[in-house]
Amino acid sequence: MIIFYELGGLSIGIPGEIAGFWSAHRQYGKLPWSALFKPAIDMCNEGITVQKALAFSILQNKNKLWEHRPF
């Protein structure tokens, strides 16, 4: 049985996390909101180099990853 938080978006964060970031940013933030996430967005668009252990894990689980697109 697959539990929602094992795969997909819920596996990488908690419900309400972004809303919490937004609330903290409104009160204390100095940078523009878009600047906070730009490095992560750039990594998603451009890709990153991974170590052998992560590459191996991805290859071992590629079928499971493809089943649960988009990711």
Tally the domains of the chain: 1
Identity at 20, one-letter amino acid code: G
Please indicate, yes or no, whether the overall pTM of this predicted structure exceeds 0.75: no
Spell 8-29 as b/e; 16+ CB within 10 A means b.
eeeeeeeeeeeeeeeeeeeeee
Digit-coded pLDDT (tens) for 16-64: 888 999 999 999 999 999 999 899 999 999 999 999 999 999 899 888 8
Compute φ and ψ for 47, nearest 5 degrees.
Answer: 85, 165
Range of the domain at 26: 4-67
